[in-house]
Structure 1
Amino acid sequence: MTVSIKSLADGQLAAGTGTIYTTPASTQAIVKTITLVNTHDSALTVNLYFKASGGASRCIIPKDTSLAAGYLLVMDDEITLEAADILEGSGGTAEKVDFVISGAQEA
C-alpha cells in the first residue's frame, strides 16, 4: 500500500448540496483540512456533509454556517474515508465559495 499526501479535491460549491469528493475504489483517505473561501460580496450560508457509502449525509460543521464576504473557514478535524465514501457541500449561491480538500490517500 502506498500513501500519497495530496490535494484531494478543489473547486466551487454549488448552491444546493452536491458531491465535492468521492473516495476512489480500493482506496482509503484521511482528510486533514477543508478550506472554504467566500468570494461573493455578501455573507453566504455553507454546509459540509460526510456520507458513508450507501449511508445518509451527516453534517460535519454546524448546519447553515454563515461565511462572511471575503472570509475563509478552515475545518481541520480529521475525517477518515473508505472506498466510495463521499463529502458533500453547499454554498448558498453557486460558484461563490471556493474549496480545497487536503489529506492523504492509501491505495
Structure 2
Amino acid sequence: MPYRKKEIEKVYFRIGEVAEMFGVNVSLIRYWEKEFDIIKPFRNKKGNRFFTKQDVDNFHLIYHLVKERGFTLQGAREKLKANRDDVTANHEVVKTLQQMRAFLLELKQNLSED
C-alpha cells in the first residue's frame, strides 16, 4: 500500500498568513482586530498574534461586508451585532456562487480548447 501524506489542518494562523489570504496589508488586519470585538487572537509571550479558524471566518465576514459590499466599519459592526446569522448565510451563498462561476469558466475554457 503506497504511503499517503496526511493533510494537517492548521489550528493557528500567523497575521501574515491571514493578510495574504485576503490580499491586504498586515496593518489592516491589526486595525480590524481593534475595531471588531469578535476577533480575539491568541498572543504568545512575545506578543505575536495567532488567529484561530473562527477568527479567520470572522475576517471573511468583515471582508465581505467592508470590501465587497461597501459597508463602513461602523455599519459592518452594527450589521454583525444585529443579525450575524443573516450575514453568514448571505456570505455562504456568495461564496458558493463564486465557486460555481469559477467551475463553469474553467469548464468553458476546457471545452473551447478541444
TM range (shorter): under 0.3
Greater helix proportion: 2
Tell me the TM-score normalised to structure 1 length. 0.21
Greater strand proportion: 1
Tell me the TM-score normalised to structure 2 length. 0.21
Q: Which has the larger radius of gyration?
A: 2
